[in-house]
Amino acid sequence: MPSVLLTGASRGLGLEFARQYAADGWHVIGTCRDPAGATELQAICRQAAGRNDGKIEIHALDAGDFAAVAALAERLSGVALDVVIANAGIWGPRSMSAEQIDAPGWAETFRINTMAPLALAGAFRPHLERGTQRKALALSSALASIGGNSSGGLYAYRSSKAALNAAWRSFAVDHPQLIAAVLQPGWVRTDMGGPGAPLAPAQSIAGLRRVIAGLTPANSGGFYSHDGSTHEW
Ligand X SMILES: NC(=O)c1ccc[n+]([C@@H]2O[C@H](COP(=O)([O-])OP(=O)(O)OC[C@H]3O[C@@H](n4cnc5c(N)ncnc54)[C@H](OP(=O)(O)O)[C@@H]3O)[C@@H](O)[C@H]2O)c1
Q: Which of 8, 30, 35, 221 binds ligand X (CB under 6 A)?
A: 8
State which of positions 115-144 bind ligand X (CB under 6 A): 139, 141
Residue 182 in the binding site for ligand X (CB under 6 A): no
Q: How far apart are CA 25 and CA 35, in angstroms?
A: 22
CA distance readout (Å), 27 to 23, 52, 76, 206:
10, 11, 14, 17
**How many residues of this chain bind ligand X (CB under 6 A)?**
29
Residue 183 in the binding site for ligand X (CB under 6 A): no
For ligand X, give the closer residue by CB, 54 or 193: 193
Smallest separation, CB 159 to ligand X (Å): 13
Give the residue from 138, 183, 145 showing the smallest Cα distance to 162: 145
Q: Which of 2, 4, 7, 54 binds ligand X (CB under 6 A)?
A: 7
Neighbours of 183 (CB within 10 A): 25
Q: Which of 30, 35, 193, 222 binds ligand X (CB under 6 A)?
A: 193
For ligand X, give the closer residue by CB, 139 or 180: 139
For ligand X, give the closer residue by CB, 27 or 33: 33
Q: Using CB under 6 A, which of the segments 5-13, 66-74, 94-102, 208-216 binds ligand X?
A: 5-13
Residue 192 in the binding site for ligand X (CB under 6 A): yes
DSSP-assigned letters across all residues of 149-212: --S---HHHHHHHHHHHHHHHHHHHH-TTSEEEEEE--SBSSTTT-TT-SB-HHHHHHHHHHHH
The H or E element containing residue 9 is none
State which of positions 23-82 bind ligand X (CB under 6 A): 32-34, 62-64
Q: How far apart are CA 156 and CA 136, in angstroms?
A: 24
Question: For residue 30, what are the β-bridge partners?
Answer: 6, 58
Residue 231 in the binding site for ligand X (CB under 6 A): no
For ligand X, give the closer residue by CB, 1 or 200: 200
Residue 156 in the binding site for ligand X (CB under 6 A): no
Q: How far apart are CA 13 and CA 182, in angstroms?
A: 15
For ligand X, give the closer residue by CB, 80 or 163: 163
Q: How far apart are CA 14 and CA 7, in angstroms?
A: 7
Residue 18 in the binding site for ligand X (CB under 6 A): no
Neighbours of 191 (CB within 10 A): 9
Kindly list the residues in this chain that would bind ligand X in the complex (CB under 6 A): 7-8, 10-14, 32-34, 62-64, 87-90, 112, 139, 141, 184-185, 187-188, 190-193, 197
